[in-house]
């Protein structure tokens, strides 16, 4: 049992989260920047001794995003013995004037359980923690270099999201309640990283029978107005 401040956490165990949001054009994720270091990392945290792992992740994500009920998928546990022995954490502690004893718990080995989250981009208020001065959206193709094995974690998160795209209701969690067919298609294209054919996509999605059609959306553009849809679940 490891003491950190007043609370006891499970030792040597952490979680990291890849929080996906969709800006309307690009898929983005939340990245933290640590004070005075130029070091970037995924939002993560620790598990209290009497806390479920899933609960811990939800708790941490609520602090970073302000959202209570977040769609979460655990996708891998990273357990290489040297994965966080890369020196960056020492730099971060120095920059934050934290004491660096040889046995400081933050410098120990950590096994990390990785989750990805899907959230409605507009509903998020990115909030840094004590060690960081920012928590911001970055497009997947414009990520800064990340500490430790976090780039690998992001890569695996995206791979898993792609594999799950057909089996889970991904669009529902990245879009607002009502959306147009084009918006849904943009989400699929951003995740798959390839363009899709409009007619094929529309036919396929509609044939699933999971969409409910609503009123039209008049945007002021001089062309036919698209229908709005919502998920029927």
Distance of closest approach, residue 60 Cβ to its own copies, in angstroms? 14
Interface map 78-117 toward its own copies (x if CB under 8 A)? xxxx---------------------------x-x-x----
Q: Residue 201, Cβ neighbours under 10 Å: how many?
A: 17
Task: Work out whether 226 is an interface residue with DNA (CB under 7 A).
Answer: yes
Distance of closest approach, residue 188 Cβ to DNA, in angstroms? 12
Q: Which CB, 141 or 218, lies closer to DNA?
A: 218
Task: Work out whether 142 is an interface residue with its own copies (CB under 8 A).
Answer: no
Task: Work out whether 97 is an interface residue with DNA (CB under 7 A).
Answer: no
Cα(62)–Cα(47) distance, rounded to whole angstroms? 14
Residues 145-204 touching DNA, rule: CB under 7 A, are 180-182, 197-200, 202-204
Q: Which CB, 76 or 201, lies closer to its own copies?
A: 76
**Coil, helix or strand for 135?**
strand
Name the binder of 23 from its own copies, DNA, none, CB < 5-8 A by kind. none
Backbone angles phi, psi at 54, to 5 degrees: -60, -35
- For the chain, list the strands marked E by DSSP: 2-4, 7-22, 27-34, 40-41, 44-48, 71-78, 111-118, 132-139, 179-180, 211-216, 227-231
Cα–Cα separations (whole angstroms), residue 231 to 123, 167, 169, 176, 214: 18, 15, 9, 10, 11
Cβ-contact 31, 136 below 8 angstroms: yes
Q: Which CB, 49 or 227, lies closer to DNA?
A: 227
Task: Work out whether 215 is an interface residue with DNA (CB under 7 A).
Answer: no
Task: Work out whether 230 is an interface residue with DNA (CB under 7 A).
Answer: no
Name which position in 26, 71, 76, 105 contacts its own copies (CB under 8 A).
Answer: 76
Q: Residue 70, Cβ neighbours under 10 Å: how many?
A: 19
Strand 111-118 relative to strand 7-22: parallel, antiparallel, unpaired? parallel
Nearest to 135 by CA among 13, 19, 47: 19
- Residues lying near its own copies in the complex (CB under 8 A) are found at 10-13, 47, 49-54, 74, 76-81, 109, 111, 113, 163, 167
- Residues lying near DNA in the complex (CB under 7 A) are found at 180-182, 197-200, 202-204, 206-207, 216, 218-227
């Amino acid at each position: 049992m490891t003491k950190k401040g007043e609370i006891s956490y499970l030792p040597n165990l952490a979680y990291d989260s890849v929080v996906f949001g969709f800006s309307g054009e690009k898929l983005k994720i939340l990245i933290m920047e640590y004070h005075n270091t130029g070091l970037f990392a995924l939002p993560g945290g620790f598990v209290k001794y009497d806390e479920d792992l899933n609960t811990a992740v939800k708790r941490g994500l609520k602090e970073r995003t302000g959202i209570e009920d977040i769609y979460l998928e655990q996708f891998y546990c990273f357990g290489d013995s040297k994965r966080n022995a890369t020196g960056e954490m020492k730099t971060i502690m120095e920059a934050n004037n934290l004491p660096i004893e040889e046995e400081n718990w933050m410098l120990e080995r950590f096994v990390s359980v990785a989750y990805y989250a899907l959230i409605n981009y507009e509903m998020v208020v990115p909030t840094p923690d004590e060690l960081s001065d920012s928590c911001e959206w970055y497009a997947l193709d414009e990520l800064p270099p990340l500490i430790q094995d976090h780039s690998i974690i992001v890569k695996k998160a995206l791979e898993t999201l792609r594999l799950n795209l057909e089996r889970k209701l991904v669009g529902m969690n990245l879009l607002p309640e009502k959306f147009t067919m084009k918006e849904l298609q943009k989400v699929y294209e951003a995740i798959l990283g390839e363009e899709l054919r409009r007619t094929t996509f529309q036919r396929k999605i509609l044939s699933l029978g999971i969409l409910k059609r609503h009123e039209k959306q008049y945007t002021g553009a001089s062309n036919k107005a698209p229908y709005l849809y919502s998920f029927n679940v």
